[in-house]
Amino acid sequence: MRLELEAKTFGPRPVLGGLSLAVARGERLAILGPSGIGKSTLLRILAGLDRNYRGRLDGADRLAVVFQEPVLLPWRDAVANIAIPTGCDAATARDWLAQVGLAGHEAKFPRQLSLGQQRRLALARAFAAGPDILLMDEPFASLDADTAARMLALTDALLTRSGAGLVLVTHDPREAEALHARPLLLTGQPAQLQTRPQND
Protein backbone atom coordinates (compact mmCIF):
# COMPACT_ATOMS: atom_id res chain seq x y z
CA MET A 1 0.00 0.00 0.00
CA ARG A 2 1.11 3.54 -0.65
CA LEU A 3 -0.03 6.80 0.90
CA GLU A 4 0.73 10.15 -0.70
CA LEU A 5 -0.53 12.62 1.86
CA GLU A 6 -0.71 16.32 1.08
CA ALA A 7 -2.34 17.52 4.27
CA LYS A 8 -4.52 16.43 7.18
CA THR A 9 -6.23 19.08 9.27
CA PHE A 10 -8.62 18.98 12.22
CA GLY A 11 -10.77 22.04 11.66
CA PRO A 12 -8.40 24.90 10.94
CA ARG A 13 -5.45 23.10 12.54
CA PRO A 14 -2.92 21.35 10.27
CA VAL A 15 -1.77 18.13 11.96
CA LEU A 16 0.02 16.22 9.19
CA GLY A 17 1.87 17.82 6.28
CA GLY A 18 3.07 16.36 3.01
CA LEU A 19 4.47 12.87 3.38
CA SER A 20 4.60 9.60 1.52
CA LEU A 21 4.74 6.13 2.93
CA ALA A 22 4.76 2.74 1.24
CA VAL A 23 4.75 -0.72 2.76
CA ALA A 24 4.43 -4.17 1.20
CA ARG A 25 4.24 -7.75 2.46
CA GLY A 26 7.41 -8.64 4.35
CA GLU A 27 8.32 -5.00 5.08
CA ARG A 28 8.18 -3.54 8.57
CA LEU A 29 7.94 0.16 9.44
CA ALA A 30 7.61 1.88 12.79
CA ILE A 31 6.21 5.39 13.11
CA LEU A 32 7.77 7.08 16.12
CA GLY A 33 7.23 10.49 17.68
CA PRO A 34 6.06 12.29 20.79
CA SER A 35 2.53 12.27 22.16
CA GLY A 36 0.09 14.36 20.12
CA ILE A 37 2.28 14.60 17.00
CA GLY A 38 -0.20 12.69 14.80
CA LYS A 39 0.88 9.02 14.85
CA SER A 40 -2.60 7.60 15.46
CA THR A 41 -4.08 10.00 12.93
CA LEU A 42 -1.64 8.71 10.30
CA LEU A 43 -2.44 5.08 11.16
CA ARG A 44 -6.19 5.72 10.94
CA ILE A 45 -5.67 7.19 7.46
CA LEU A 46 -3.65 4.12 6.41
CA ALA A 47 -6.37 1.87 7.83
CA GLY A 48 -9.02 3.66 5.78
CA LEU A 49 -10.81 4.74 8.97
CA ASP A 50 -10.26 8.44 8.25
CA ARG A 51 -10.90 9.57 4.69
CA ASN A 52 -11.06 13.26 5.48
CA TYR A 53 -7.65 14.40 4.16
CA ARG A 54 -5.96 15.68 1.02
CA GLY A 55 -3.93 13.03 -0.76
CA ARG A 56 -4.36 9.49 -2.01
CA LEU A 57 -4.14 5.99 -0.63
CA ASP A 58 -3.49 3.14 -3.09
CA GLY A 59 -3.33 -0.59 -2.73
CA ALA A 60 -5.63 -3.57 -2.57
CA ASP A 61 -3.87 -5.11 0.40
CA ARG A 62 -5.79 -6.98 3.07
CA LEU A 63 -5.35 -5.03 6.28
CA ALA A 64 -5.78 -5.92 9.92
CA VAL A 65 -5.63 -3.33 12.68
CA VAL A 66 -4.63 -3.84 16.31
CA PHE A 67 -5.38 -0.94 18.65
CA GLN A 68 -4.09 -0.19 22.13
CA GLU A 69 -7.50 -1.17 23.53
CA PRO A 70 -8.21 -4.73 22.37
CA VAL A 71 -11.83 -3.96 21.18
CA LEU A 72 -13.30 -7.43 21.72
CA LEU A 73 -16.89 -8.70 21.65
CA PRO A 74 -17.81 -8.68 25.37
CA TRP A 75 -20.59 -11.31 25.24
CA ARG A 76 -18.69 -13.82 23.11
CA ASP A 77 -16.04 -16.30 24.18
CA ALA A 78 -12.45 -16.26 22.93
CA VAL A 79 -13.16 -18.69 20.07
CA ALA A 80 -16.11 -16.62 18.81
CA ASN A 81 -14.07 -13.43 19.14
CA ILE A 82 -11.83 -14.82 16.42
CA ALA A 83 -14.35 -16.83 14.38
CA ILE A 84 -17.07 -14.17 14.04
CA PRO A 85 -15.02 -11.22 12.72
CA THR A 86 -12.72 -13.30 10.49
CA GLY A 87 -15.19 -15.94 9.27
CA CYS A 88 -12.84 -18.80 10.18
CA ASP A 89 -14.18 -22.03 11.72
CA ALA A 90 -13.95 -22.85 15.43
CA ALA A 91 -11.07 -25.32 14.97
CA THR A 92 -8.99 -22.68 13.20
CA ALA A 93 -9.85 -20.15 15.92
CA ARG A 94 -8.71 -22.65 18.59
CA ASP A 95 -5.48 -23.18 16.70
CA TRP A 96 -4.84 -19.41 16.65
CA LEU A 97 -5.54 -19.24 20.39
CA ALA A 98 -2.95 -21.95 20.95
CA GLN A 99 -0.43 -20.06 18.81
CA VAL A 100 -0.71 -16.98 21.05
CA GLY A 101 -0.50 -19.03 24.25
CA LEU A 102 -4.22 -18.99 25.08
CA ALA A 103 -4.89 -22.75 24.93
CA GLY A 104 -7.27 -23.57 27.77
CA HIS A 105 -8.92 -20.13 27.61
CA GLU A 106 -11.17 -20.92 24.63
CA ALA A 107 -14.47 -20.60 26.50
CA LYS A 108 -13.58 -17.45 28.45
CA PHE A 109 -15.18 -14.08 27.87
CA PRO A 110 -12.94 -11.02 27.43
CA ARG A 111 -13.67 -9.77 30.96
CA GLN A 112 -12.28 -13.05 32.34
CA LEU A 113 -8.94 -12.44 30.61
CA SER A 114 -6.11 -10.15 31.78
CA LEU A 115 -5.15 -7.16 29.63
CA GLY A 116 -2.14 -9.07 28.31
CA GLN A 117 -4.36 -12.04 27.40
CA GLN A 118 -6.92 -9.74 25.75
CA ARG A 119 -4.10 -8.19 23.69
CA ARG A 120 -2.98 -11.66 22.60
CA LEU A 121 -6.56 -12.52 21.66
CA ALA A 122 -6.72 -9.35 19.54
CA LEU A 123 -3.40 -10.33 17.96
CA ALA A 124 -4.67 -13.82 17.15
CA ARG A 125 -7.81 -12.32 15.59
CA ALA A 126 -5.68 -9.98 13.46
CA PHE A 127 -3.50 -12.80 12.11
CA ALA A 128 -6.50 -15.10 11.63
CA ALA A 129 -7.80 -12.54 9.13
CA GLY A 130 -4.77 -13.36 6.92
CA PRO A 131 -3.62 -9.77 6.43
CA ASP A 132 -1.02 -8.60 3.91
CA ILE A 133 -0.27 -5.68 6.21
CA LEU A 134 -0.78 -5.48 9.96
CA LEU A 135 -1.36 -1.98 11.36
CA MET A 136 -0.67 -1.66 15.09
CA ASP A 137 -1.28 1.37 17.31
CA GLU A 138 0.63 1.16 20.62
CA PRO A 139 -0.36 -2.48 21.21
CA PHE A 140 2.34 -3.02 23.84
CA ALA A 141 1.60 0.05 26.00
CA SER A 142 0.71 -0.40 29.68
CA LEU A 143 1.84 -4.03 29.86
CA ASP A 144 4.47 -5.01 32.43
CA ALA A 145 7.97 -5.38 30.99
CA ASP A 146 7.94 -9.20 30.87
CA THR A 147 4.51 -9.39 29.24
CA ALA A 148 5.46 -6.70 26.71
CA ALA A 149 8.69 -8.55 25.84
CA ARG A 150 6.80 -11.83 25.36
CA MET A 151 4.18 -10.19 23.19
CA LEU A 152 6.85 -8.47 21.08
CA ALA A 153 8.59 -11.81 20.51
CA LEU A 154 5.25 -13.43 19.65
CA THR A 155 4.37 -10.65 17.18
CA ASP A 156 7.81 -10.93 15.57
CA ALA A 157 7.39 -14.70 15.14
CA LEU A 158 3.87 -14.43 13.70
CA LEU A 159 4.95 -11.70 11.27
CA THR A 160 7.85 -13.85 10.09
CA ARG A 161 5.68 -16.96 9.75
CA SER A 162 2.87 -15.20 7.90
CA GLY A 163 5.03 -12.88 5.78
CA ALA A 164 2.72 -9.98 6.61
CA GLY A 165 4.04 -6.42 6.47
CA LEU A 166 3.85 -4.14 9.49
CA VAL A 167 3.21 -0.51 10.30
CA LEU A 168 3.67 -0.02 14.03
CA VAL A 169 2.81 3.22 15.82
CA THR A 170 4.77 3.61 19.03
CA HIS A 171 6.56 6.19 21.17
CA ASP A 172 9.18 3.56 22.13
CA PRO A 173 12.10 2.99 19.71
CA ARG A 174 12.95 -0.28 21.51
CA GLU A 175 9.69 -1.78 20.23
CA ALA A 176 10.68 -0.89 16.67
CA GLU A 177 14.04 -2.56 17.22
CA ALA A 178 12.52 -5.69 18.76
CA LEU A 179 10.28 -6.06 15.70
CA HIS A 180 13.07 -5.29 13.21
CA ALA A 181 10.97 -2.40 11.91
CA ARG A 182 12.52 0.53 10.04
CA PRO A 183 12.02 3.60 12.25
CA LEU A 184 10.39 6.70 10.75
CA LEU A 185 10.09 9.77 12.94
CA LEU A 186 7.07 12.09 12.81
CA THR A 187 8.25 15.58 13.59
CA GLY A 188 7.31 19.23 13.08
CA GLN A 189 4.09 21.16 12.91
CA PRO A 190 2.38 20.08 10.75
CA ALA A 191 4.21 16.79 11.17
CA GLN A 192 6.26 15.14 8.45
CA LEU A 193 8.16 11.87 8.29
CA GLN A 194 11.91 11.69 8.75
CA THR A 195 14.05 8.62 8.36
CA ARG A 196 16.04 8.24 11.54
CA PRO A 197 19.76 8.76 11.11
CA GLN A 198 21.44 5.38 11.44
CA ASN A 199 24.22 5.01 13.99
CA ASP A 200 26.08 2.38 12.04
Ligand X SMILES: Nc1ncnc2c1ncn2[C@@H]1O[C@H](COP(=O)(O)OP(=O)(O)OP(=O)(O)O)[C@@H](O)[C@H]1O
CA distance 6 to 18: 4
To ligand X, the closest distance from the beta carbon of 169 in angstroms equals: 6
Residue 176 gets the label, from left (phi > 0), alpha (psi -120 to 50) or beta, of alpha
Residue 11 or 74: the one with the smaller Cβ distance to ligand X is 11
List, in order, residues 6 or more apart from 173 with CB less than 8 Å away: 30, 32, 183
Measured in Å, how far apart are the chain's first and last C-alpha atoms?
Answer: 29
To ligand X, the closest distance from the beta carbon of 190 in angstroms equals: 10
Residue 142 touching ligand X (CB under 6 A): no
- List 5, 30, 32, 37, residue binding ligand X (CB under 6 A): 37
Binding region for ligand X (CB under 6 A) out of 29-37, 97-105, 110-118, 145-153: 29-37
Residues 6-25 within binding reach of ligand X (CB under 6 A): 10, 15
Residue 184 touching ligand X (CB under 6 A): no
Residue 106 or 172: the one with the smaller Cβ distance to ligand X is 172
Task: Compute the half-sphere exposure of residue 116: CA atoms within 13 Å on the CB side of its CA.
Answer: 14
Residues 39-78 within binding reach of ligand X (CB under 6 A): 39-41
> Looking at this protein, which amino acid is placed at residue 181?
A
CA distance 199 to 24: 25
Which spans of this chain sit near ligand X (rule: CB under 6 A)? 10, 15, 33, 35-41, 171
